[in-house]
């Protein structure tokens, strides 16, 4: 069965008021800005959403707001992962998936399981899930790499595992996955700066941060790359390259929230322990955005 999650997906931010509560009015603006910009799907409660600092009630409220606001215009993926397998399974069993089309589940962090443990973790989650599960490999955050061998074992033996968001930055590992995967298993970029190179070796999309701010430009690049029109796609890639680098210079989602604030879409407010980007990064982003908008 063809995946609903190809092309440009967006790991959507959670806007906050200055006093810390969720700014749902701005979240509506962000979602409409993204969808009107031509993206293919959205991710609720990913890393960029600051899900780690949201309460259970807040997470439920955000998901319900996504379903209502998106209103089936694009598919919705739900971030649902952790390092306690049984707790994730219990959460899956406790929630309704009406309006949710898939799960993105990060590889277990902190307790640094063996590859055998990672395999059993995802096999158990996939068995409990009523919707397709997408793996998320991001060693820079988890301190544990999910190897190509483990990914391919899951892809070939667990029917409800439909793809992976790959953010290892290791193109050799990514090529090994793409070369050995089943036809319907989707490889998505998890790193905005490497999306075009990944498309050139067979990836089928991205879960993007920068597309919160520039959905049109970024989704155009992805669409061109997926059609093999790399000369045209490179124009968009290099147009956004310095902005992407600067967005991540002082951490995510600090950079993208500074950009969205500059664009007047949502305020630049984060929850501790995250703080705003420093003044020099903020100034550079402002200059780069002005240059992009005037080009």
Q: Which residue has the tokens 């390092």?
A: 83
> Residue 190 is encoded by which pair of tokens?
């998890």
Q: What is the pLDDT of residues 27-41, one digit of tens each?
A: 999 999 999 999 999
Question: Does 49 reside within a domain?
Answer: yes
Q: What is the chain's mean pLDDT, rounded?
A: 97
Q: Which secondary-structure segment (H or E) carries 94?
A: helix 85-94
Where do the H-state alpha helices sit in the chain? 24-36, 56-70, 85-94, 115-128, 139-142, 148-157, 171-180, 195-200, 215-226, 230-247, 254-262, 279-294
Mean pLDDT of 211-228: 98
Residue 251 gets the label, from left (phi > 0), alpha (psi -120 to 50) or beta, of left
Q: Where residue 1 falls among pLDDT bands split at 50, 70, 90?
A: low
- Is 90 exceeded by the pLDDT of residue 207? yes
Helix-strand-coil split of the chain, %, nearest 5 = 50, 15, 35
Please list the active-site residues. 136, 165
pLDDT at site 144: 87
Residue 232 falls within a domain, yes or no?
no
Query: Is residue 63 included in any domain, yes or no?
Result: yes
Indicate whether 289 belongs to any domain: no
Does residue 143 carry a pLDDT above 90? no
Distance CA 120, CA 41 (A): 28
The count of domains in the chain is 1
Is residue 149 scored above 80 in pLDDT?
Answer: yes
Is 108 a member of any domain? yes
Among 74, 83, 91, 79, residue whose Cα is nearest residue 117: 83
Q: Which of 121-125, 140-144, 218-222, 239-243 is the least confident region? A: 140-144
pLDDT tens figures, 159-187: 999 999 999 999 999 999 999 999 999 99
Relative orientation angle of helices 215-226 and 230-247, to the nearest 10 degrees: 140
Whether the per-residue pLDDT at 42 is higher than 70: the answer is yes
The pLDDT of residue 3 is: 73
Residue with tokens 């029109």: 229
Looking at 95-133, list the stretches that DSSP marks H as alpha helix, in order from N- to C-terminal side.
Answer: 115-128
* Terminal-residue alpha carbon distance, the chain: 41
Output the pTM of the full model.
0.96
pLDDT at 79: 98
The pLDDT of residue 2 is above 80: no
Of the given ranges (94-98, 146-150, 192-196), which has the lowest mean pLDDT?
94-98
In a domain, 252, yes or no: no
pLDDT at 20 over 70: yes
What percent of the chain has a predicted confidence (pLDDT) above 70? Answer: 99
Residue 77 phi/psi, 5-degree rounding, is: -105, 140
- CA dist 26 and 32 (Å) reads 10
Cβ atoms 44, 76 nearer than 8 A: yes
In the structure encoding, which two tokens stand for residue 99, read together? 């309006």
273 assigned to some structural domain: no
Q: Is 234 exposed, middle or buried (0-12, 13-18, 19+ CB in 10 A)?
A: middle
* pLDDT tens digits, one per residue of 251-293: 999 999 999 999 999 999 999 999 999 999 999 999 999 999 9
229 Cβ neighbours under 8 A, 6+ residues apart: none
Residue 176 lies in domain: 7-227
Reported residue count of the chain is 295
Residue 222, Ramachandran bin (φ over 0: left; ψ between -120 and 50: alpha; else beta): alpha
pLDDT at 276: 97
CATH of the domain at 125: 3.20.20.70
Task: Provide the β-strand partners of residue 106.
Answer: 136
Q: How far apart are CA 186 and CA 269, in angstroms?
A: 34
User: For 230, phi and psi rounded to 5 degrees?
Assistant: -75, -30
């Amino acid at each position: 069965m063809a995946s609903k999650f190809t092309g440009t997906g967006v790991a959507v931010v959670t806007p906050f008021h200055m006093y810390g509560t969720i700014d749902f009015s701005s979240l509506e603006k962000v979602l409409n800005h993204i969808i009107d910009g031509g993206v293919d799907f959205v991710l609720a409660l990913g890393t960029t959403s600051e899900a780690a600092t949201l309460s259970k009630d807040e997470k439920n409220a955000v998901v319900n707001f996504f379903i209502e606001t998106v209103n089936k215009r694009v598919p919705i993926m739900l971030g649902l992962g952790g390092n306690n397998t049984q707790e994730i399974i219990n959460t899956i069993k406790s929630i309704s998936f009406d309006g949710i089309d898939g799960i993105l589940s990060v590889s277990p962090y902190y307790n640094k399981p063996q590859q055998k443990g990672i395999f059993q973790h995802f096999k158990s989650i996939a068995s409990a899930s009523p919707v397709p599960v997408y793996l998320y490999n991001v060693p820079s955050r988890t301190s544990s790499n999910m190897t190509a061998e483990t990914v391919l074992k899951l892809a070939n033996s667990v029917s409800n595992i439909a793809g992976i968001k790959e953010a290892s930055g290791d193109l050799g590992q990514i090529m090994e996955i793409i070369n050995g995967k089943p036809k319907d298993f989707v490889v998505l970029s998890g790193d905005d700066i490497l999306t075009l190179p990944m498309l050139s070796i067979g990836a089928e999309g991205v879960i993007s941060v920068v597309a919160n701010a520039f959905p049109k430009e970024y989704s155009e690049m992805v669409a061109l790359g997926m059609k093999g029109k790399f000369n045209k796609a490179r124009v968009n890639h290099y147009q956004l390259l310095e902005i992407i680098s600067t967005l991540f210079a002082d951490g995510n989602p600090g950079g993208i929230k500074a950009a969205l604030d500059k664009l007047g879409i949502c305020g630049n407010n984060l929850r501790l322990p995250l703080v705003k980007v420093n003044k020099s990064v903020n100034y550079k982003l402002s200059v780069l955005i002005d240059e992009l908008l005037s080009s």
